[in-house]
Amino acid sequence: MSCKREQTTVDAGALRLTCPAVRLRRRLLAGVVAATVALAAGAVLTLVDPGAVGPLQAVSLLLFLVLFAWIALAFWSAFIGFVLGLSGRDPLSLRRRVPGTPGTADPPLVSRTALVMPVHNEDPQRVVHGLAATCESVIATGQGAAFDAFVLSDTTDADIAEREQAAVAELRQRLPRDFSVHYRRRPDNTGRKAGNIADFCRRWGGRYDFMVVLDADSLMAGSTLVTLARTMEANPGAGLIQTVPVPVRQQTLFGRLFQFAGAVHSRMLAAGMAFWQGDAANYWGHNAILRLRAFTAHCGLPTLPGSPPLGGEILSHDFVEAALMRRAGWGVWVLSDLQGSYEELPTTLLDYAKRDRRWIQGNLQHLRLLGNHDLHPLSRLHLFLGAFTYLASPLWLALLALTSIDAVLRSGGGLLAVAGEGAGGVGSATALALLIVTVLLVLAPRVFGLVLIVTQAGAGSGRVRLAASGVLDVVFSVLIAPVLLVLHAWFLVCILSGRATVWRAQARQGRLLSWRQAWGYTGALPVLALVWGGLLVWQAPALLVWLLPVLLPLLVAPVMTRFTSSDALGGSLASAGFLRAPDEPAAVAVLARLCAHERAPLRLSRAPANHPTVPPETPEPMPVQALSALALPFAPR
């Protein structure tokens, strides 16, 4: 496939990573979050008579304030990103963004970068099509000589492995001979993805300055990769730079809704977090560039004491690697404004939940590392927040359950009914206002992102469709939240009971789920809703109205699971101009390349005798780092 030369857009001023007054920024964020929580606590205190507060009410109030603090942090990070987006300022330097200059005039890169794609029983066609699009995009910048690509296979299926070799061999024939693509297969997948990458670092890391980690569904523009390499060259203290991967190529209604949400909110949220994280940001495991010398020397992962699911190999390795990198003095940055970084998503609620099940187990392990006081405070915060993202679900469920139990015992409205006792109705108004404020804080980031993207769209029907798509996004988020809340709580119970997850290849192709699949996975949720709702109708009907936004989505969970897996519904809305993201394949060169490759699939009859080889090894030690792990309060069964 012939490739036209692509231009690299580089903001020369942005190559130097600076974040002035970052400590002041963090104090300001902590201050506004604390003030927001204090106002909520004050409102809560007006609702209750201290003498009438029993154990259930006390625990419920505490849970509410903890969860409200979590909401407040997310809100203010989103608000900061929103203000930065409106003002056109860089979240790190706070300088106004200026148009970049064409990359054709830039000097050649002086560094060498390896594009590494670890795979495990993935579809070889999709793997190589995506890698081909990325490599061709790099070559089109004129900087291809500074890059090599590696397919790092941990595939255990012999048939898939043979087709992988054949696919990479054909890719090498399609690309210019001076662009190297290598294939390496390990006999086992010790250490999973982290072990796969560590094996590369030990054997070939010494040949390269930087490494870009790609997932099997990752796609990156050549201009973006060149900019990352230039930024690393210009910042010798940077150990890792994370981009913000935007979801693309979704066809099911579920995928379309999540893709639209990601396109609208992700960069704004990342900008808000980059504002106060500075050089102590996080790593998301892919679509990032790492300094190999620093990574190899300081990011060898230990094994946690104890057995799975909370002991053994560290599953969610990325947060821990970022923490180790920062502990060693290297900067960890997020470039929220750098475009050209893409990923694909689970296409159904079932597949999305299965992925969350794996992530929950990995993130819970991070809680055992919070006792390492030599980690940067923000690194420990990342570890905690990563786990709390999923712990919040059972906490919300516990809050709702305690409120329901309290209401049944009081045969009234629970905590909300307390407001009307002896307050002449003022407490009820305060309770309603507090509920409205909580909902607004949760939904505000979606509104902020929508406002930003609408202001950037052209006048006319495009804005109307974007606004309508934003309404669909909000409605879907309200419907899906209770379902994920209950599923996450159940996953947590399974993990704490000792059921470790098996990490398999992710289902990446859209498909219409059968009714049997939908009911089999979510059929218990309508039963829960009917029992819960029936109990409230019988004993505490006043509280039922407040809990309908939770119970109704649970009641229709199987129907929602089935219909949101439909390609037809997603395609119909997209054809009508709804749920269309700016990064559609027709509008982005590297995505268009991938689509072109998929229209001309590879011929993978069998691997050639001279299958792709690897370069000579340059052995480098990757020492295991010292990390203490908190003892488990119990032994999972």
Question: 246-247 and 181-185 as β-strands: parallel, antiparallel, unpaired?
Answer: unpaired
pLDDT for the residue 9:
43
Please tell me which residue, 559 or 633, carries the higher pLDDT value. 559
DSSP-assigned beta bridge partners for residue 219: 342
What is the average per-residue pLDDT within 569-588? 83
- The reply to whether 360 falls in a domain is no
What is the average per-residue pLDDT within 76-92? 96
Packing angle of the helix pair 253-277, 22-45 (nearest 10 deg):
120
Q: How confident is the model at residue 605 (pLDDT cuts 50, 70, 90)?
A: low
**Residue 556 predicted with pLDDT over 60:** yes
pLDDT for the residue 102:
39
What is the average per-residue pLDDT within 349-365? 94
Q: How confident is the model at residue 122 (pLDDT cuts 50, 70, 90)?
A: very high
- The reply to whether 515 falls in a domain is no
Mean pLDDT of the chain: 88
DSSP-assigned beta bridge partners for residue 313: 303
Which letter does DSSP use for residue 123 in this model?
A: -
Q: Among the listed ranges 314-323, 400-409, 608-617, which one has the minimum average pLDDT value?
A: 608-617
Packing angle of the helix pair 253-277, 461-496 (nearest 10 deg):
80
**Which residues span the domain enclosing 197?**
109-246+266-302+318-344+584-599
pLDDT for the residue 606:
57
Q: How confident is the model at residue 546 (pLDDT cuts 50, 70, 90)?
A: confident
First to last CA, the chain: 55
- The reply to whether 230 falls in a domain is yes
- The reply to whether 163 falls in a domain is yes
Please tell me which residue, 508 or 630, carries the higher pLDDT value. 630
Helix (H, G, I), strand (E, B) or coil at 501: coil
pLDDT for the residue 503:
63
Q: How confident is the model at residue 545 (pLDDT cuts 50, 70, 90)?
A: confident
**Residue 43 predicted with pLDDT over 80:** yes
- The reply to whether 531 falls in a domain is no
Q: Say how far apart CA 15 and CA 7 lie, in whole Å.
A: 17
What is the average per-residue pLDDT within 58-66? 90
- The reply to whether 101 falls in a domain is no
Q: Say how far apart CA 308 and CA 472 lie, in whole Å.
A: 40
* Number of domains present in the structure of the chain: 1
pLDDT for the residue 506:
67
pLDDT for the residue 457:
64
pLDDT for the residue 107:
84
Domain containing 326 — which CATH number? 3.90.550.10
Instruction: Please check whether residue 562 is in contact with residue 515, taking contact to mean a CB–CB distance below 8 angstroms.
Output: yes
491-507 per-position pLDDT tens digit? 999 998 888 776 666 66
- The reply to whether 501 falls in a domain is no
What is the average per-residue pLDDT within 553-576? 95
- The reply to whether 387 falls in a domain is no
> Whats the size of the chain, residue-wise?
637
**Residue 363 predicted with pLDDT over 50:** yes
pLDDT for the residue 427:
46
517-537 per-position pLDDT tens digit? 999 999 999 999 999 999 999
pLDDT for the residue 21:
96
Q: Say how far apart CA 523 and CA 516 lie, in whole Å.
A: 9
What is the average per-residue pLDDT within 119-138? 95
Percentage of residues of the chain with pLDDT beyond 90: 70
